[in-house]
Amino acid sequence: MATLPQLTLDFNRQIKLSNDGGSLSSDTGEFIFREFDEKIGFSKTLARHLHLKDDRKYHVHSNENLLRQKIYQIIAGYAEDDSADQLTNDPVFTQIIGTDALASQPSLSRFYTRFDNESMEQLNQANQELLDKVHTFRGSKAIIFDLDSTHADTYGEQESASYNTHYGTVGFHPLVAFDGITGDFLKAKLRPGNVYTSNGVVDFVKPLIEHYNEKFPETTPFLRGDSGFAVPALYDLCEDESVYYVIRLKSNAILQRMADELHPATEISDVSMSECYYEEIEYQAKSWSKSRKVIVQSVRPAGELFFTHSFFVTNLKDAFTPETIVRSYQKRGTMENYIKEAKNGFYLDKMNSHSFQVNEVKMMLSLLAYNLTNWLRTLCFPKGRKSMQIETIRTRIIKVASKLVKSGRSIYFKLSSSFVYQKFFWEVLQRIQRLKLE
């Protein structure tokens, strides 16, 4: 439709639609993100850390601008690189990037290929520096390392894509870590689709734990993981690094027998009433170097004769009741929402390149776009709106129509007078400008 000079609507032949409006944009709210970016030093931090091996003799678009362009396209909801071809002269994007025109899809594709393992680590370091800055500003007293794995479907001959029996599909099996308190995206690692959940988890999380213990010794670290992460090496790491943990265990015959002894079915007094108990036992699996505290949650729904047992290994002290420990683990469910938003809102699982390295780069850029958004909403959104999802954010403050007007040395963006969420828009912008992060 964009190629048609004009189209008349059938319901009212007086109405004509065309794409020749000139210096207009539908993404004016990207300026809010750019203002916040400058306030926390987001792009500057990335540029300082990232040093790509660039053998171009001549270029129009710097690596710094290409990185910023892709991140801001993700935030605005443009998942495909070829969206840049249509946005090339968008007045908002060109001002945000600081160029006369945006880079094309082929330029973005070549940009990804300049990354290697070293430059990926540089982006991780930049992300960690920004995480530290925000952590300090918040004055956080605790951090929860929520570990999980997810799946990224593939539809072609992508390098290292494999069939995963758990998900029943072909793709990758990324490992991710979020802060269970703030929702910050701490780290991600792309893995082949056929690796087990806990594969490489100690090497993945150990640098995070060591960093926070050294950088923020006053912060209490806590780790949660499902039964896929129930490996002795992870328990040992947490105990050596003074990290509290609650990890769900897979049931086995020994644990079931111990739990059944706590609540035999023969002692049920009223089968019409549901029952739930929390108990503590000492247990040592054959692969463990010592016995550990295990919490048993025993649930019998009304009308059932037998209990269903769940097991959680932990090093939390006696000050925490068994029920409190289970409740703390159950709050891990919020991580599913973080992953869902990262995938649906920031395209974390969009793996459309043949190259494994390029797909990992795209995953990292999605992580950075997610974090910039999460820091903006948690630090600058008004109370009651700090958990707003990206799709709502796009509707409320990003997808705003404006017209570019140049007058002397000033550049004016005239927003639509009928913009419904203008009060929220201006409130967020004013909160950003009042923010004192340093």
For residue 141, how many C-alpha atoms fall within 13 Å in the half-sphere facing its CB? 0
Sign (positive/negative) of CA torsion 55, 61, 67, 71?
Answer: negative
Using alpha carbons, select from 84, 181, 126, 82 the residue that is nearest to residue 364. Answer: 126
- Closest alpha carbon to 42 in 309, 401, 374: 374
CA-to-CA distance for 337 and 22, rounded, in angstroms? 40
Predicted pLDDT at 196 = 94
pTM value is: 0.94
Structure tokens at 203: 């090497």
| Max mean pLDDT range (12-16, 22-26, 126-130, 259-263) | 126-130
- Give the burial class of 24: count Cβ atoms within 10 A of its Cβ; 0-12 exposed, 13-18 middle, 19 or more buried: middle
One-character DSSP codes across 227-283: GGG--HHHHHHHHHTT-EEEEEE---HHHHHHHHHHS-GGG-S-TTS-EEEEEEEEE
30-40 helix and 63-76 helix, angle to the nearest 10 degrees: 130
Enumerate residues 6+ apart whose C-beta is below 8 A from 360.
Answer: 115, 120, 190
Q: Return the exposure string of 194-221: e unless at least 16 CB atoms fall within 10 Å of the residue's CB, then b.
A: bbebbbebbebbeebbeebeeebeeeeb
Tell me the pLDDT tens digit for each residue of 372-382: 999 999 999 99
- DSSP H helices in 50-144: 63-76, 83-87, 91-97, 105-112, 117-138
- pLDDT confidence band for 312 (50 / 70 / 90): very high
Tokens of 209: 């734990």
- Predicted confidence (pLDDT) at residue 268 exceeds the cutoff of 80: no
Lowest model confidence (mean pLDDT) among 38-47, 84-93, 155-164: 155-164
Residue 400, SS3?
coil
pLDDT at 123 over 60: yes
How confident is the model over 162-219, as pLDDT tens digits?
999 989 999 999 999 999 999 999 999 999 999 999 999 999 999 999 999 999 999 9
CA atoms within 13 A on the CB side of 378: 16
- Rounded to the nearest 5 degrees, what angle is found at the Cα of 382, between the Cα atoms of 378 and 387? 45
How does the average pLDDT of the chain come out, rounded? 94
Q: Report pLDDT for 1.
A: 39
